[in-house]
Structure 1
């Protein structure tokens, strides 16, 4: 007997991601590994999740890498990379892309939070922050530009 769990709609997963973002700020549990060194963060995820998230340092582009942690979204453990933009935090949630899921990228604003979603390299990315949507779009573009040069394991 198989039990099929329904996948969340876009608005359902957006609500979960915003809630995870807010919880990370309220509980002072923004990172499990607090460092700006991508060579420390990347191996920290080994053995904790079943995929290798790309870790990109965007400090020179105005988005300082602060660390990473594990989170739980849509019934799955995901990687969360944390960046800072001035006094604001950006949570970048990363998980394997659904085999039959949408590859569409999009931007949304909900409850005062900006969200960016994109896919690449078999992974799905969700960035969440209270910075303006245009700035989060810049973050996404910088991440894409820099991750093209980052080694993928």
Structure 2
């Protein structure tokens, strides 16, 4: 063996893979060649490192509790997690039921409010927000009837209220339920009281509460903070609407009916 030859023969010698005669020649060469001696020493050191025992893979007992706690977060949902999820779904189900009940109550409340009441109250809110003025007239029945004469096709019933307590604000021609509506407005202190009158064609008067005064039936309904009272007078529907509470508004109506 010469140093110019491949080192593979030296590696085979160190592995014990050479025939005896060839192994004897390599051993004799190693005794006199410093280069090969160094290469053999490096190879033997590498083999020694590869044969060293690996660190013990056994986990120390005191680490197991921490490992188990970590594994619980990675493991499939436990019974506790499943219970929590069930509670969430149960809560969502309960909320859905409550929401459905609230919607049902709202729909019932809307359906329980007659269309004419909804239109009357919405009209009062709209005219107030828009600031639609009243037509200034003297508090005189004849003057009020004359002002409405060419605007509507039915005779106007003019309520009469004592001027020392009720302030006459004026008259107004409104429009809702696809028809013209005559409005006569008074005020008690600062609270407007609007008397309305329109044709009865296609209008149904229903309410949760009715009151009999003389020969008339009055339909009383509260809606959106307003109190409404409606009744029939011949071929017309009459009414009064205000933010006054029911007892106060019924008192106003009694005074108006007595003075008319």
Shift of 1:66: 1.7
* Higher-strand-fraction structure: 1
Give the CA deviation at 1:75: 0.9
Match of 2:199? 96
Q: Is the 8 A contact 1:33 1:69 kept in 2?
A: no
8 Å Cα contact 1:90/1:127 also seen in 2: yes
2:230 aligned partner: 117
| 2:248 is the alignment partner of 1:143 | no
Q: How does 1:8-27 map to 2 (within 5 A)?
A: 11-27=114-130
Report which of the two structures shows the higher radius of gyration computed on alpha carbons.
2
3-state SS of 2:239 partner: strand
Deviates more, 1:56-65 or 1:88-97: 56-65
- Is this contact kept in 2: 1:92–1:127, CA < 8 A? yes
Equivalent in the alignment of 1:50: 153
Q: CA deviation at 1:37?
A: 3.1
Q: Which has the higher contact order (CA 8 A, sep 6+)?
A: 1
* Residue of structure 1 in register with 2:135 after alignment: 32
Alpha-carbon separation, structure 2, partners of 1:100 and 1:132 = 25
Tell me which residue corresponds to 2:181. 78
Contact 1:36–1:64 (8 Å) recurs in 2: no
- The equivalent of 1:151 in structure 2 is none
SS in 1 for 2:144: helix
The gaps in structure 2 that reach 5 residues or longer are 1-111, 206-215
Cα 1:26–1:38 change in 2 (3 A) is farther
Q: Note if 1:105 corresponds to 2:222.
A: no
- Normalized against structure 2, the TM-score is what? 0.48
**Cα–Cα, structure 1 residues 75 and 62, in superposed 2: closer, same or farther, change >3 Å?**
same
Q: Is the 8 A contact 2:185 2:193 kept in 1?
A: yes
Which has the larger helix fraction?
2
Q: CA deviation at 1:24?
A: 2.3
User: What count of residue pairs does the alignment treat as equivalent?
Assistant: 139
- Structure-2 separation of matches of 1:101 and 1:11: 8
Distance 1:12 1:59 in 2: 32
Alpha-carbon distance in structure 1 between the residues aligned to 2:223 and 2:204: 22
Q: CA separation in 1, counterparts of 2:117 and 2:173?
A: 18
Please give the TM-score of this superposition, normalised by the length of structure 1. Answer: 0.78
Give a deviation string over 1:77-130, Cα, whole Å, max 9, x none: 110111111101111110133488557421111111111111224321121110
